[in-house]
Amino acid sequence: MSYLRKYENYKIECYENSNFPLIKKLLIGILGRPKNMGKLSPYIISKSKKEYGEGYQVRLTPKQLIQLQKRLFDNNIRFEEFFEREWCHLHLSCYLGNDDDDSINEALYHEAIAYEHEEYWSIYYEDGSLTQLPQLKNEKYFIQNIYNININEPSIDLQTFFEDWTKKQVTPY
């Protein structure tokens, strides 16, 4: 089974645009009233102390995305003009050693970050023992791309990949 997104995340920001009230009405019609941490999450944006605007983080299922794009198209509004894709990222960590071990080398933390792209996740080493991973300095901390077809649940599968990778790369003293 491959990784299928339940939601795609977008953001929309507007200071002054005659189409924004209609877009907001369409979003509410599809996703319901705005609420913090919901499918339509509002926030305030400002260019300066005197100029404020509205912004929304939008979580859409593929069906809702098609519905929104169709409604915008019917009103002569281009989706791409207003909406920007927000890609997900995950923080990964791996602890080598056990709690009873007093050896510094045996009890190392390793951290990475995974960035979502259209068809894959790229994983970069963030923190830990580069003395045990000197090859990463030359690769600017890039570890590997993991393609969506190999992922069922990103937060579990990417964490497992990073733990397995770290154990293979790091040989405890």
pLDDT score for 47: 67
Give pLDDT tens digits along the chain (173 positions): 445 567 788 998 887 788 989 999 999 999 988 887 678 888 777 766 676 778 888 989 889 999 999 999 999 999 999 999 989 899 999 887 665 555 554 556 888 999 999 899 999 988 877 666 767 766 678 889 999 999 988 989 999 999 998 888 876 54
Does residue 1 lie in a domain region? no
Does residue 3 lie in a domain region? no
DSSP code string of 127-157: ES-TTS-THHHHTTTEEEEEEGGG-SSHHHH
pLDDT score for 169: 81
Q: Do 72 and 16 share a domain, yes or no?
A: yes
Global pTM reads: 0.66
162: Cβ contacts below 8 Å, ≥ 6 apart: 92, 93, 94, 110, 112, 114, 123, 143
Does residue 2 lie in a domain region? no
Query: Which one of 51, 85, 119 terminates a domain?
Result: 85
pLDDT score for 2: 47
Query: Nearest Cα to 164, choosing from 102, 96, 100?
Result: 96
Residue 162 sits in which domain range? 89-169
Does residue 31 lie in a domain region? yes
Bridge partners (DSSP) of residue 56 are 12, 42
pLDDT score for 30: 92
Does residue 51 lie in a domain region? yes
Query: Which one of 60, 85, 110 terminates a domain?
Result: 85
Instruction: State how many domains the chain has.
Output: 2
Q: Do 76 and 104 share a domain, yes or no?
A: no
